[in-house]
């Protein structure tokens, strides 16, 4: 009788806004409605990266781990990086400066590749930081928009019943009751990581707000390495919390 080994998949995405001029006039007006200064209009345009209807995924990092004989074993660590010069269905494997191999491809191929990874392991346990609030719904909707059938429901369950298949560290830190202040204040990832003694993935001067500019300058390897630092820090935060917070799967 074969034994089941639980697989943990930590993932993170980087996104950018779609070109503002790619929208018709009615949608342009809708997107900047209420912004009566150039600064406010620019702010709304920059926020397009936060919605799957106005943005796209440019990088997805994954780290796959199993615990074998009380030791964590890494099965896979890498990223899918979107290169607009590569057609759907084609892939190019590139070794990043940090030595990690990553796949350069289209956004559609990135999403297809992620679904294949999730179906390669029985009942994988997902680990994210704010994945239920951002990464998971973003991927699900981009998959639908690109007509890629999802092979895994990243949003299955309710806020209080999804824990058997997904650990969202932001929810855990807030005890599922995020507030603007107090004991369950909703801190950002950088702050939470540092609080647990984990090196910030932004230590090299890159953060999510710079991804759009980096992508425009074709700094693809810089984005991929940043995304993978986010993934590693998310995993490190999970390990730091797991044995000391109640009911973390």
State the SS3 of 67-97: EECCEEEEEEEEEEEECCCCCCCCCEEEECC
Q: List beta partners, residue 72.
A: 67
Q: How confident is the model at residue 159 (pLDDT cuts 50, 70, 90)?
A: confident
Q: How confident is the model at residue 1 (pLDDT cuts 50, 70, 90)?
A: very low
Task: Sort residue 69 into left (φ over 0), alpha (ψ -120 to 50) or beta.
Answer: left
The whole model's pTM is what? 0.95
79-87 mean pLDDT: 98
CATH code for 7-18+54-242? 3.30.420.10
Per-chain mean pLDDT for the chain: 94
- 249 pLDDT above the threshold of 90: no
Burial of 61 (0-12, 13-18, 19+ CB in 10 A): buried
pLDDT of the residue at 174? 94
Taking alpha carbons only, the member of 81, 30, 38 closest to residue 58 is 81
Q: How confident is the model at residue 3 (pLDDT cuts 50, 70, 90)?
A: low
- 142 pLDDT above the threshold of 90: yes
Which phi and psi angles does 5 have, rounded to 5°? -110, 120
Give domain limits for the chain: 7-18+54-242
């Amino acid at each position: 009788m074969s034994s089941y080994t639980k697989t943990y998949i930590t993932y993170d995405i980087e996104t950018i806004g779609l070109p503002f001029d790619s929208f018709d006039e009615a949608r342009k007006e809708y997107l900047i409605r209420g912004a009566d200064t150039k600064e406010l209009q620019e702010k709304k345009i920059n926020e397009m990266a936060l919605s799957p209807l106005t943005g796209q995924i440019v990088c997805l990092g994954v780290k796959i781990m199993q615990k074998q004989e009380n030791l964590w074993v890494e099965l896979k660590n890498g990223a899918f990086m979107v290169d607009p010069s590569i057609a759907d269905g084609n892939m190019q494997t590139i070794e990043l400066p940090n030595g990690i191999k990553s796949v350069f491809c289209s956004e559609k191929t990135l999403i297809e590749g992620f679904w294949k990874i999730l179906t390669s392991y029985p009942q994988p346990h997902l680990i994210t930081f704010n994945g239920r609030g951002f990464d998971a719904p973003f991927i699900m909707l981009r998959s639908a928009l690109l007509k890629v059938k999802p092979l895994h429901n990243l949003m299955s369950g309710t806020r209080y019943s999804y824990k058997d298949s997904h650990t969202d560290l932001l929810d855990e830190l807030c005890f599922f009751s995020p507030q603007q202040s107090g004991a369950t204040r909703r801190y950002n990832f950088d702050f939470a990581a540092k609080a647990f003694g984990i090196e910030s993935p932004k230590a090299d001067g890159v953060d999510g707000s710079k991804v759009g500019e980096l992508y425009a300058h074709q700094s693809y390897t810089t984005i991929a390495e940043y995304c993978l630092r986010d993934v590693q820090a998310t995993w490190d935060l999970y390990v730091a919390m797991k044995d000391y917070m109640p009911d973390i799967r």
